[in-house]
Structure 1
Amino acid sequence: MLELGLLTDTNKKETLLAYFEQEAELWLNWLASFTRGGEPGVTRLLYTKEWLAAQRALEGKMTELGLVPSFDEIGNLYGKIKGVQETAPSIITGSHIDTVVQGGKYDGAYGIVAGLLAIDYLQRTYGQPVRSLEVVSLCEEEGSRFPMAYWGSGSVVGKRSFAQIDSLQDEEGISFREAMADCGFGEGAGAPARRADMAAYIEVHIEQGAVLEREGLSLGVVEAIAGQRRLKFTIGGESNHAGTTPMHMRRDALEGTSAMIGLLRQEAVRLGPPLVATVGRLQVLPNVVNVVPGKVEFTVDARHADGQQLDAFCRWTVDAFERIAAERGLDFACEEWFREEPVPMNERLKKELDDICRELAIPSKRMVSGAGHDGQMFHHSCPTALLFVPSRGGISHSPDEYTSPKELAIGIMALAKLLYKLGYEGELL
């Protein structure tokens, strides 16, 4: 095996990349086999038989690699290499094992595979680290089976609790607690999920967007996970006959809404990245071909890495939409129904990743994550970093999700280098 300290040697770097390429592809295909049968893509929902089989299989793989595996009470799986400083907080890497329905094989799984390959390489090359290194296969992030996201990471940092799941059921009426118990987990069934012994959390993930691919870059060092605001607008007009109501006499709720949506896009484009704004749901009443629409309900999802700028944009949106409604004699109502603050990643870890990209001649950029990730939970308890590899066409949550083996390998190599600095050189955060 090669030493990370010699990765500036082009030949050695290419040899290690080829190794990670081959292994990552094999591991991801293996993990993708744990899926609900008869469907395209990968379907591995929390506390299903496919989910349990995948976690148990990963437990076996960890043992084979010389890691010490352990489950906590909710089903998060850790694989650990003890450091010389046994009582020092651990450096943790990983991601989530669950998927959306008919998702891809990279979302979540890649972060787990990357962690296993990086730590296996480091252990075989350098032996025991100074600080303990751990890979975590988090039990859940997506919220695909039960109406609760970040159950795995949220429980680790105390943002999720058993009290929050008491009334939750899936679409078949199976309770959260029942599904968990069927897999052998539950309150007191293992080590507590809450941890206070984490020195850092580093997650490698597919971008789920097209920025890196379009800019020809190999890695994205995430500055922050964007904050979100979700607004619901209700625009009231007057339903009337489409043939007998003159244009100047209409109170057309849909026409007013169309003007609002057009202005929203115009302003978001003017302000530019990292702001994004989306009208994702629109309901028109009575929704009949020959009737002037009398009522429209629609949503706006706005995201930005700066909470103050996000709030300013949302205030502008409400004021602008209300003005458009007033000009047309339309009724107007607005409700904010979801708010999540931006989560900055750790400055020291971002700088380390920037340095690694320069050392290894990896083309990269700082960027904002518009999607949520487990890192936004870990941020509450320890220094956190998030690293992106490109996604072909920006496609994710789909069987068509794809990242090339070489791009996967570059992410693993950067992760290994960071884990070496933190775990073997013992650099403190």
Structure 2
Amino acid sequence: MADPTVDGERFRRRFDEFSDIGATENGGVNRPSLSDENKAARDTVVEWFREAGLAVTVDEMGNIFGRRAGANPDADPVLFGSHVDSQYNGGRYDGVVGVLGALEAVEALNDADVTTDRPLEVVAWSNEEGVRFQPDMLGSGVFCDQFDLEYAYEREDKDGKRFGEELERIGYKGDAPCEPRDLHCYFEMHVEQGPFLEQEGLPVAAVEGVFGFSWMNVTFEGQANHAGPTPMDMRHDAFVATADVTRSVRRLTATEGTDLVGTVGSVDVWPNAINVIPETVEFTVDFRSYDDAVVDAAVEQIQREIAHAAEREGLEYEFEEIMRVDADPFDQSCIDTVVDAAETVGCEYTRLVSGAGHDANYLNKIAPTSMIFVPSVDGISHRESEFTEWEDIVTGTEVLLEAVRSKAAE
């Protein structure tokens, strides 16, 4: 019996075909959750899972599972995969390499006629990105009992369309319960979305954990008035206060913790006219660190800065922490399995902590979990120019295959 081997050409053909779904003119993809393009991507995943001999199940959240039988059908399965929804005009690699790489690992086992002791399941999670329906990682969150199913169904996009209704519209409101179940472990391969691996010239990282983060929503309420006749000392400009807070975010990240990062990423201004003083601004703040105390301190400090900015400009304000996730160390046994797999493959590797959230965050709460990172050229992600060298994707998939085989033999 031959050892399973990743077929890089087959994998590449599938990846290129998948990249045509929702393709943008600048080389990216536009497949936000539950869009028509996301439906087409899901349809393709289901078709390819079945072609690979996987038994397909779709749960109540639209999470797609493809199961490969093991020699011991009663054993808890090894689950591995990622997501196929994208940012608006996002990159081709984010999430997709984890799903198609998992599928290629299954194909390699099929080619070598290898039956694992434990069943294997490949998964494509719903709504990982969270750009159309907030919060992110919604499908895995419900699966891991972090969100209630009805809460998820009631999430609305900016057009007032509900998640549950859109899930039904595209035909992916499945019958299987979306709830925790017994898993032996979970692995997820993903592009790094940062610059470290490329800077170090390394193809693979064993991921030791994920940053904790806080997402906040802030609204300043001022007073609209004519931009010409209104004296500066009579203005209540909501955008001036927003700019002050934005500068505070940058200042805090330079002083409150060595790995603390902060972003004002979404800003809505009303009335958003060139000759009208901004009356209302709603914006978000995102703080992240591998130290939960650092995130907590930053949130407290930015609340003070928001209050001061509102007072200076004579505004009313609202503050809400819309999501808080603690830093998440992964399972040491799974991390070691990834390291051992990299050594078996014969590739160089390192260990990293992820600054981005992933479905693995939630899976780690119900099953031993780790991740495999492959490099992002120039550290770019969530943009159409996102790129990973194909050789690195294949290497990462070989490591994933070895890690899954090892755990499936336990």
- Work out whether the TM-score is over 0.5: yes
CA offsets 1:330-360 (integer angstroms, 9 cap, x no match): 9997845234122222121112223333444
1:79 to 52, 58, 66: 66
> Residues of 2 paired with 1:256 and 1:49: CA distance?
39
CA offsets 1:280-334 (integer angstroms, 9 cap, x no match): 46789999999999999875421111212322344455568878999x8999978
Q: In the TM superposition, what is the alpha-carbon distance from 1:53 to its structure 2 partner?
A: 3.1
> Residues of 2 paired with 1:285 and 1:102: CA distance?
25
1:204 and 1:386 in contact (8 A); partners too: yes
CA offsets 1:87-107 (integer angstroms, 9 cap, x no match): 111100011121222222211
1:122 and 1:420 in contact (8 A); partners too: no
> Residues of 1 paired with 2:343 and 2:322: CA distance?
39
- What residue number does 1:340 align with? 324
- What residue number does 1:24 align with? 11
- What residue number does 2:97 align with? 110
1:120 and 2:120 are equivalent in the alignment: no
1:383 to 364, 368, 375: 368
Larger radius of gyration: 1
> Residues of 2 paired with 1:372 and 1:230: CA distance?
12
- What residue number does 1:9 align with? none
2:203 and 2:349 in contact (8 A); partners too: yes
1:22 and 1:405 in contact (8 A); partners too: no
> Residues of 1 paired with 2:152 and 2:232: CA distance?
54
1:174-213 counterparts in 2 under 5 A?
174-186=161-173, 189-213=174-198
RMSD: 4.0
Residue 329 of structure 2 aligns with an amino acid whose one-letter code is P
1:226-241 counterparts in 2 under 5 A?
226-231=211-216, 232=218
1:36 and 1:50 in contact (8 A); partners too: no
1:221 and 1:388 in contact (8 A); partners too: yes
Equivalent position SS for 2:262? strand
2:260 and 2:289 in contact (8 A); partners too: yes
1:392 to 373, 377, 389: 377
2:31 to 38, 44, 69: 44
> Residues of 2 paired with 1:38 and 1:272: CA distance?
40
1:261-280 counterparts in 2 under 5 A?
265-266=250-251, 268-270=253-255, 273-280=258-265
> Residues of 1 paired with 2:109 and 2:118: CA distance?
13
2:27 and 2:385 in contact (8 A); partners too: no
> Residues of 2 paired with 1:148 and 1:310: CA distance?
19
2:103 and 2:122 in contact (8 A); partners too: yes
2:291 to 286, 291, 306: 306
Residue 17 of structure 2 aligns with an amino acid whose one-letter code is W
Equivalent position SS for 2:112? helix
Structure 1 residues 242 and 210, CA, compared in 2 at 3 Å: closer, same or farther? farther
Structure 1 residues 246 and 107, CA, compared in 2 at 3 Å: closer, same or farther? closer
Q: In the TM superposition, what is the alpha-carbon distance from 1:182 to its structure 2 partner?
A: 2.9
1:101 to 68, 88, 92: 88
> Residues of 2 paired with 1:422 and 1:407: CA distance?
23
Structure 1 residues 364 and 315, CA, compared in 2 at 3 Å: closer, same or farther? farther
Residue 363 of structure 1 aligns with an amino acid whose one-letter code is E
User: Which sections of structure 1, spanning at least 5 residues, go unmatched?
Assistant: 5-15
> Residues of 2 paired with 1:147 and 1:274: CA distance?
25
* Higher mean C-alpha deviation, range 276-285 or range 250-259: 250-259
CA offsets 1:87-128 (integer angstroms, 9 cap, x no match): 111100011121222222211111111101112213433621
> Residues of 2 paired with 1:184 and 1:288: CA distance?
41
Residue 63 of structure 2 aligns with an amino acid whose one-letter code is N
Q: In the TM superposition, what is the alpha-carbon distance from 1:206 to its structure 2 partner?
A: 0.9
Residue 142 of structure 2 aligns with an amino acid whose one-letter code is S
> Residues of 1 paired with 2:266 and 2:159: CA distance?
25
> Residues of 1 paired with 2:275 and 2:165: CA distance?
50
Residue 401 of structure 2 aligns with an amino acid whose one-letter code is A
Q: In the TM superposition, what is the alpha-carbon distance from 1:79 to its structure 2 partner?
A: 1.6
- What residue number does 1:3 align with? 3
2:135 and 2:323 in contact (8 A); partners too: no
1:20 and 1:412 in contact (8 A); partners too: no
- What residue number does 1:8 align with? none
* Higher mean C-alpha deviation, range 97-106 or range 309-318: 309-318
Q: In the TM superposition, what is the alpha-carbon distance from 1:39 to its structure 2 partner?
A: 8.6
CA offsets 1:18-70 (integer angstroms, 9 cap, x no match): x5432332121111222278896322233344333332332222232232223
* Higher mean C-alpha deviation, range 173-182 or range 134-143: 173-182
2:26 and 2:384 in contact (8 A); partners too: no
1:58 to 34, 45, 48: 45
1:283 and 1:296 in contact (8 A); partners too: yes
Equivalent position SS for 1:120? helix
Give the TM-score of the pair, scaled to structure 1: 0.78
> How many residues are matched?
408
1:157 and 2:144 are equivalent in the alignment: yes
- What residue number does 2:339 align with? 354
Residue 106 of structure 2 aligns with an amino acid whose one-letter code is I
1:401 to 386, 389, 401: 386
- What residue number does 1:7 align with? none
CA offsets 1:200-240 (integer angstroms, 9 cap, x no match): 1111111122222223222232222222224549699xx9x
- Could you tell me the percent identity over the aligned residues? 30
* Higher mean C-alpha deviation, range 74-83 or range 46-55: 46-55
Residue 199 of structure 1 aligns with an amino acid whose one-letter code is H
1:139 to 126, 141, 153: 126
